[in-house]
Amino acid sequence: MKEIDNILTRNSPLQLCEPYPSDQQMDIIYKAALRAPDHAWLRPSRFLQVTGDGLDKLSKIFYQYAKENMGDISEDKLIKYKKAPFRAPMIIILITNVTNHPSVPEHEQMFSTAAAAQNILLALHAFKFGGIWRTGKFAMNKDIEKSLGLASNQKILGFLYVGTPCGKVKKIPEIKTDDFVSKLQ
């Protein structure tokens, strides 16, 4: 696949199944992630890879948080949150390790992790895997961060669900750039 085609054909699959990338593939994928722009070489991106029993642990964390913090939540909604980690065989939790820096504000460090996430999605696609980036109630959530043992300066930007695309293939519409680009000349 040509490099530009990898970018132009990437999408978020509707469904992800086994297998997920091997350890060797993940090492390359993480190296690609760490090539993201990074002001002052702070290296703010961290990744918590969740598979197997880890998905069960994450399920319990989501369920417990929802039960204790979401008021009059229905049992159906609780079950939905409990099942959420099992939408894919692997989850990569995107974490920004925020450093107090005189010229690199927190939001720039978070942008670096977001760019790293995009690199992960592109690298997954290059290896014929898929990824879905989810945020929701469990991202940027101090209680979830604490439950996962993160330090107080670490923030969850989101969750990348990872696996092999399966099921129905989502059609990607052609995008006309004129609808999104203006020029100052």
Low-confidence ranges of the chain (pLDDT < 50): none
Tens digits of residue pLDDT in 9-22: 999 999 999 999 99
- Cα–Cα nearest to 7, from 124, 168, 160: 124
Torsion of CA 96, 98, 102, 104, to 10 degrees: 10
Q: Which residue ranges form the domains of the chain, and what is each CATH number?
A: 3-51+86-167 (3.40.109.10)
- Give CA–CA dist 101/112, Å, rounded: 14
- pLDDT, residue 1, reads 59
- pLDDT, residue 2, reads 82
- Cα–Cα nearest to 144, from 161, 160, 159, 163: 159
Beta strands in the chain (DSSP E): 16-17, 45-51, 90-97, 130-134, 154-165
